[in-house]
Amino acid sequence: MTARELEERHALEVYPRRGISIVRGEDARLWDDQGNEYLDCAAGVGVANVGHANPVVATALADQARVLVTCPGIFYNDQRGQLMEKLASLAPAGLEKVFLCNSGTESTETAIKLARKTTGRSGMVTAMRGFHGRTLGSLSATFKYRDAFEPLLPGCTFVPLNNIDKLDSAVGDDTAAVMLETVQGEGGVRPADPEYLAAARRLCDERGSLLIIDEVQTGFCRTGTFFSCEQFNLVPDILCLAKSIAGGMPMGAVLCSERVEAGIGVHGSTFGGNPLACAAALAAINFMLEHDLAARANERGAYFQRRFTGELPARVRDVRQIGLMIGIELKEKATPYLQALLHRRVLALPAGPTVIRLLPPLVISESQLDTVVTALQDVLSV
Ligand SMILES: *Cc1c(COP(=O)(O)O)cnc(C)c1O
């Protein structure tokens, strides 16, 4: 039986399917079970920044798999220690403490717990259109996808992004943390204003709340700097990471300032910080630094912007490009165009009903981007 038949029989259907079976990848390309080649502007939802089947990551994984795969947090481990030091050295100054987990939602879930433990408060202030994950705590702080799951955590307030007055009124004595993305990913590739993030930092300091920045999607060179915070001169109390951290292996991380209080037994994870994922992360991060993928995201993003916005199809309302995080907002629903792109062998993502989101591997070449631009122009002009 084909993968499609097997999954249709057994998979709990929670994903809107696209109808193809992907069996192999290399850099920015994927192949289906019929041998068709695709340009991947989804990158496993922003996971494959270093490219699919990256040989450096593959070697690190194979080598580490023969040495040690699992090691609980009660013991020290060489790979884990090195990774923690690497993350702390790349993050904004002062974020020296690291907790390792296995996904984005675990990293935001951890951040919410730490904010509560540290402040003794329970309120969360987050942005409308923000996305922080699907486990119950993270979902409580997420604007969408929550309807079927009420009641969620009490005390979560949603404010419109980039409205400083509304943020000012929302942050109060009961606010444990303000949690924001620097660029909203799922919410439509919408960047926060620098003044807004600065105001969030100031309000948190004034009112004894923590500032959590969720860089699960924007981190690891995606937006043209190693972490997106750098572009805003922003130092959060907690930085949440996942997606591209380990070259495609499941991993999340939380980086904390010394203000953040934990304590023995406060949190934990069976798989968090396992040597296999840590080795993959070290390899992926070293690859990003060696090949300066931040600069590459910047250059290739600007290249895309020049090529695509030259002749903007009439049904495009707006193009938002931050490094290689690109949102093409349409005046109509995006799904038919995503399907048309798939027929042109370009894989892309939605971000809300009307936005086509492109998150290609940062190793995508200019000529591959030319192909993407041509496909977009053809599909959007009909
Ligand atoms: C994807 C994402 C998450 C959730 O990550 P998972 O690994 O799917 O749990 C959280 N925050 C942001 C900003 C994301 O883009």
Q: What is the pLDDT of residues 338-380, one digit of tens each?
A: 999 999 999 999 999 999 999 999 999 999 999 999 999 999 9
Catalytic residue among 243, 287, 304, 308: 243
Point out the catalytic residue in the list 27, 40, 99, 214. Answer: 214
Using an 8 Å Cβ cutoff, are 328 and 316 in contact? yes
Q: Does residue 292 sit in helix, strand or coil?
A: coil
Domain chopping of the chain, boundaries:
3-53+292-380, 57-290
Confidence of residue 40 (pLDDT cuts 50, 70, 90): very high
Over residues 27-52, the mean pLDDT reads 98
Cα–ligand 1 centroid distance for 216 (angstroms): 6
> Mean of the pLDDT values across residues 184-213?
98
Mutate to test the pocket of ligand 1, among 15, 186, 190, 249 (most ligand atoms within 8 A of CB): 186
Res 286: pLDDT: 98
pLDDT value at 113 more than 90: yes
Is ligand 1 within 6 A of the CB of residue 215? no
Distance 247 CA to ligand 1 centre (A): 15
Which of 139, 215, 222, 243 most suits a substitution to test ligand 1, by most atoms within 8 Å of the C-beta? Answer: 243
pLDDT for the residue numbered 75: 98
- HSE-CB of 329 using CA atoms within 13 angstroms: 12
Distance in angstroms (rounded) separating the CA atoms of residues 231 and 175: 26
Q: Look at residue 254 and give its three-state secondary structure.
A: strand
**Helix ranges, the chain (H):** 3-10, 43-46, 55-65, 78-90, 104-119, 136-140, 164-170, 194-207, 275-290, 293-309, 335-343, 366-381
Tokens of 110: 């951890």
Examine the pLDDT at 270 and tell me if it is beyond 90.
Answer: yes
- Residue 141 Cα to ligand 1 middle (Å): 12
The sign of the CA dihedral 26, 30, 35, 38 is negative
**Is 300 exposed, middle or buried (CB count within 10 Å of its CB: 0-12, 13-18, 19+)?**
buried
Answer yes or no: is the C-beta of 220 below 6 A from any ligand 1 atom.
no
Annotated catalytic, 131?
A: yes
What b-and-e string marks burial along 357-380, b requiring 16 or more CB atoms within 10 Å of the CB?
A: bbbbbbbbeeebbeebbebbeebb
**CA–CA dist 349, 337 (Å, integer):** 10
Residues near 15 by beta carbon (within 8 Å), at least 6 away in sequence: none
Structural contact between residues 276 and 69, judged by C-beta atoms closer than 8 angstroms: yes
Q: Given CATH 3.40.640.10, say whether it is the number of domain 57-290.
A: yes
C-beta of 104 in contact with ligand 1 (< 6 A): yes
Cα–Cα distance, 197 to 147 (Å, whole number): 28
pLDDT band at 208 (very low <50, low <70, confident <90, very high): very high
Cis-peptide, bond into residue 151, ω within 30° of zero? yes
For the domain covering 3-53+292-380, report its CATH number.
Answer: 3.90.1150.10
Predicted confidence at residue 315, as pLDDT, reads: 97
Is this model's pTM higher than 0.85 or not?
A: yes
Fill in the DSSP letter of residue 246: G
Catalytic residue (one of 27, 40, 99, 131): 131
Task: Determine the atom of ligand 1 nearest the C-alpha atom of 240.
Answer: 11
Phi-psi region of 256 (alpha: psi -120 to 50; beta: other; left: phi over 0): beta
- What gap in Å lies between CA 50 and CA 32, rounded to an integer? 20
Mean predicted lDDT score pLDDT of the chain: 97
- Per the annotation, the verdict on 243 as an active-site residue is yes
Residue 311: pLDDT above 90? no
Distance 28 CA to ligand 1 centre (A): 21
- By the 8 A CB rule, do 191 and 223 touch? no
> How remote is the CA of residue 217 from the centroid of ligand 1, in Å?
7
Q: Determine the pLDDT at residue 211.
A: 98
- Of all residues in the chain, what percent carry a pLDDT higher than 90? 98
- Model pLDDT for residues 233-242, shown as the tens digit of each residue: 999 999 999 9
Q: What is the pLDDT of residues 86-109, one digit of tens each?
A: 999 999 999 999 999 999 999 999
Ligand 1 pocket residue status of 133, Cβ below 6 Å: yes
CA angle centred on 255, ends 252 and 261, rounded to 5°: 120
Q: Which atom of ligand 1 is nearest to the CA of 138?
A: 10
Write down the pLDDT at residue 382: 83
Residue nearest to atom 8 of ligand 1 (CA): 104
CB atoms within 10 A of CB 202: 13
Residue 275's pLDDT band (boundaries 50, 70, 90)?
very high
On whether the CB atoms of residues 252 and 101 are closer than 8 A, the answer is yes
| Average pLDDT of span 16-30 | 97
* Ligand 1 centroid, distance to 382 Cα (angstroms): 34
% residues pLDDT > 70 (the chain): 100
Q: What phi and psi, each to the nearest 5 degrees, are found at residue 100?
A: -105, 135
